[in-house]
């Protein structure tokens, strides 16, 4: 499903993008077990997209004239007319494409190795908010990397 969803928007699919999105799903939804953020946080869906992030993406970034076609393409791919918070939870394609757009906004190339993916996710998706040790990875983060490697990320 992930590959088909990413291919539905021009420029969103690549092998690196698939790996990054797989890693994001592993981290943000505790290996796919939670569709709402643990501890009562605002993250929703398999990618843990926050409603404020969705608003920023759709009502600021994609609202620009230069991005209008991308916004319409995303909504069309998700069978939607307009973005809404509830869709982050019940429309997996919308959740994935919103998360991918968050990464699309970053003016740096996608990484190609698992440590780079973990650091890229931490810096650009979570804003570097997690507790860092050494390379920026906690013991939990290293466990996630091992799991991610086991599913061929």
d(CA 58, CA 137): 31
Task: Determine whether 73 is exposed, middle or buried from the number of CB atoms within 10 Å of its CB (0-12, 13-18, 19+).
Answer: middle
pLDDT digits (tens, 9 = 90+) for 93-117: 999 999 999 999 999 999 988 889 9
Express each pLDDT in 82-91 by its tens digit. 999 999 999 9
pLDDT at position 133: 39
- pTM of the predicted structure, to 2 decimals: 0.87
What pLDDT is recorded for position 152? 53
């Amino acid at each position: 499903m992930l590959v088909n969803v990413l291919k539905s928007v021009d420029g969103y699919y690549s092998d690196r993008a698939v790996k990054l999105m797989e890693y994001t799903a592993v981290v943000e939804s505790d290996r796919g077990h939670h569709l709402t953020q643990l501890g009562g946080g605002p993250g929703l869906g398999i990618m843990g997209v926050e409603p404020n992030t969705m608003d920023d993406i759709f009502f600021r970034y994609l609202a620009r004239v230069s991005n209008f076609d991308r916004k319409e393409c995303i909504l069309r791919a998700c069978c939607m007319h307009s973005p809404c918070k509830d869709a982050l939870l019940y429309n997996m394609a919308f959740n994935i494409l919103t998360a991918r757009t968050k990464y699309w906004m970053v003016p740096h190339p996608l990484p190609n190795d698992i440590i780079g993916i973990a650091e890229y996710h931490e810096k650009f998706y979570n804003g570097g908010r997690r507790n860092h040790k050494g390379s920026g990875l906690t013991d939990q983060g290293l466990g996630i990397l091992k799991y991610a490697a086991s599913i061929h990320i």
